[in-house]
Amino acid sequence: MKQMTIPQAVAEALHQVMAADPAVFLIGEDLAMGGVFGAAKGLKERFGPARVVDTPISETSFLGLGIGAAMSGMKPVVEIMFCDFLGVCFDQLMNQAAKMRFLSGGTVSLPLVIRTTMGAGDGSGAMHSQSNYGLAASVAGLRVACPSNSADAAGLLKTALEGPDPVVIFEHKGLFDVETPADPELPPVPFGKARTLRQGADVTLVAIAAMVPVALAAADHLAKRGIGVEVIDPVTINPLDREAILASVAKTGRFAVLDEGAAFAGVADALVSLVVREAFRSLKAAPAAITPPHTPVPYAPALEAAWLPDAARVEAAILKMMEDV
């Protein structure tokens, strides 16, 4: 095991897959300098401009290029610097990438990976801090991954390049300075396999990406109060490991989701809805969706901190749930 940050692990995974497979190429903005977060470090020097393609600020055309290349036998990794910029190329995501395999009756594969970053907490303001994987997950035809650590970020990228569907990987900027252990070979990580990070008998808590450490901290505190919180990292949102979630809820009888995404019609709502539809009789209390409020991300530190869910909010929600009898 090696300690790595997410950008380091992604860069290393890209080195490995690009060396192994000439069909893989990287395209996006400011890659020559190693990418603005370092996830493309050393790639241009090593693989040259034909395979590490720096672009103008034209997300629609270079994402579309990725799609067309994937339809023509390549394995593109398209970097959209911040997921906030998905708006300028949303047609290519929502209509072109997402629907093409379906529209071909399944005959066309799109082994396309879109890497992007997300997340609030660094004072970047409303247009560089969103976590809009719920938007992507609501569009049929896309796969969505939200790694919470370096090994997953790298391993999901490898798996994504072998599948027939376009995958959007949302990497959380708030995790970029944290080193987490990873096997130096960075083995592929399966889609649709959740990870139970902590066992608990009382509440099932699903947490996504940067919310995973928040969930674990809350679970620690609650354990001291005698409440067992089972923390599940879904790893991918589509496919979603509903078996793991439902099995846990069957055991605990309580469900909460901790999600930096949309407060309305996001992944939190989707998971609450899934659980209550599938496991209603197991539930002992009203489930909780712990998300930011339904506002853009505010800029000022105090406001941004209040906007982001923290362990205290999780604890309060779970304590309330435990009292709801």
Partner 1 sequence: MTPDDQLALYARARFARAFEAAVARARDAGEVPGVVHLNGGQELVELGVFHQLDGARDRVTGSHRSHGLALAAGIAPAIVAAEIMGRTGSLSGGLGGTQHLVPAGGLFMGSNGIVGGQVPLAAGAAFAARSKGNGGIAVAFFGEGAAQQGGVMETMNLAIVLGLPLLFVCVNNGWAQSTGADASAGAPLASRARAFGMHAESVDGGDLGAVDAATRHLVSQIRTNGQPAFLEAHVSRVGGHYHGEDQGYRKDGKLTDPLDRLRATLVEAGVTAANLHRIEEEAEARARAAFEEAALEPMDDPSTLALWARDLGGLT
Ligand X SMILES: Cc1ncc(C[n+]2csc(CCOP(=O)(O)OP(=O)(O)O)c2C)c(N)n1
Of all residues in the shown chain, the one whose CB is closest to ligand X is 85
Which 3 state secondary structure label does DSSP give 117? strand
Interface residue with partner 1 among 1, 226, 277, 302 (CB under 8 A) is: 302
Helix axis angle, 6-20 relative to 150-160, nearest 10°?
30
**Could you tell me the smallest distance in angstroms from the CB atom of residue 298 to partner 1?**
5
Interface residue with ligand X among 23, 88, 246, 276 (CB under 6 A) is: 88
Q: Does 281 bind a second copy (CB under 8 A)?
A: yes
Cβ-contact 230, 204 below 8 angstroms? yes
Q: Does 287 bind a second copy (CB under 8 A)?
A: yes
**Could you tell me the smallest distance in angstroms from the CB atom of residue 55 to ligand X?**
10
- Provide the token pair at 262: 């949309």
Distance, C-alpha 221 to centroid of its chain:
26
Interface residue with a second copy among 289, 308, 311, 314 (CB under 8 A) is: 289
Indicate if the alpha-carbon torsion angle 89, 93, 97, 100 is positive or negative.
negative
> Taking CB within 5 to 8 Å according to partner kind, which of partner 1, a second copy, ligand X, none is near residue 281?
a second copy
Residues of span 124-153 touching a second copy by CB under 8 A: 126-127, 132, 134-135, 137-141
Burial 293-318 (b: 16+ CB within 10 A, else e): eeeebbeeeeebeebbbebebbbebb
Nearest CA-CA partner of 261 in 291, 299, 231, 306: 291
Beta bridge mates, 171: 117
For a second copy, the closer of residues 43 and 267 by Cβ is: 267
User: How many whole angstroms separate alpha carbon 297 and alpha carbon 310?
Assistant: 15
**Could you tell me the smallest distance in angstroms from the CB atom of residue 87 to ligand X?**
8
> Taking CB within 5 to 8 Å according to partner kind, which of ligand X, partner 1, a second copy, none is near residue 134?
a second copy
Cβ-contact 197, 231 below 8 angstroms? yes
For a second copy, the closer of residues 86 and 168 by Cβ is: 86
128 a catalytic residue: yes
Nearest CA-CA partner of 315 in 253, 232, 256, 275: 256
- Indicate which residue of 15, 128, 172, 294 is catalytic: 128
How many residues of this chain interact with partner 1, rule: CB under 8 A? Answer: 86
Interface residue with ligand X among 12, 29, 230, 259 (CB under 6 A) is: 29
- Chain positions contacting ligand X, by CB under 6 A: 29, 57, 59, 81, 85, 88
| Residues involved in catalysis | 128
